[in-house]
C-alpha cells in the first residue's frame, strides 16, 4: 500500500466544500432577501349578545380567512368582534 499525504491546500478545499454543503443543506440563503412588511386587514362587527348569533358570525368570518383577535363590549349591550387577516 502506498502512503498518501494531504497538503494544506487539499485540507482547506475539503473543509470549504464541507461548509458549503452544510449551508446548502440548512437552506442558508447566499443573498439576503428584503423582507416585505406584513400587511393586515381588520374588520370590526357588532353582534347580538346571544351565543347562537355570535357562533354563526365567528364561523362565517373564520371560513373566509378572518381570525378573531379581540372582543370588545362597547356599550355593554352589543359585543364587537375584532378580526384580522
Into how many domains does the chain fold?
Answer: 1
Instruction: Answer whether residue 49 is part of any domain.
Output: yes
Range of the domain at 56: 42-84
Each residue's pLDDT tens digit, 17-75? 666 666 556 665 555 567 888 899 999 999 888 899 999 999 999 999 999 999 998 77
- Predicted pLDDT of residue 41: 95
Instruction: Answer whether residue 55 is part of any domain.
Output: yes
> Closest Cα to residue 42, out of 73, 72, 74?
72
Instruction: Answer whether residue 59 is part of any domain.
Output: yes
Q: pTM of the entire structure?
A: 0.54
Q: Is the pLDDT score of 3 beyond 70? A: no
- Predicted pLDDT of residue 4: 56
Cell output for 15:
473543509
Amino acid at each position: 500500500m502506498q502512503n498518501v499525504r494531504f497538503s494544506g491546500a487539499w485540507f482547506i478545499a475539503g473543509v470549504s466544500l464541507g461548509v458549503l454543503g452544510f449551508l446548502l443543506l440548512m437552506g442558508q440563503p447566499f443573498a439576503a432577501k428584503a423582507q416585505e412588511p406584513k400587511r393586515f386587514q381588520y374588520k370590526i362587527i357588532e353582534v347580538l349578545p346571544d351565543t347562537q348569533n355570535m357562533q354563526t358570525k365567528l364561523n362565517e368570518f373564520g371560513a373566509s380567512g378572518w381570525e378573531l383577535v379581540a372582543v370588545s363590549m362597547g356599550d355593554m349591550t352589543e359585543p364587537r368582534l375584532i378580526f384580522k387577516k
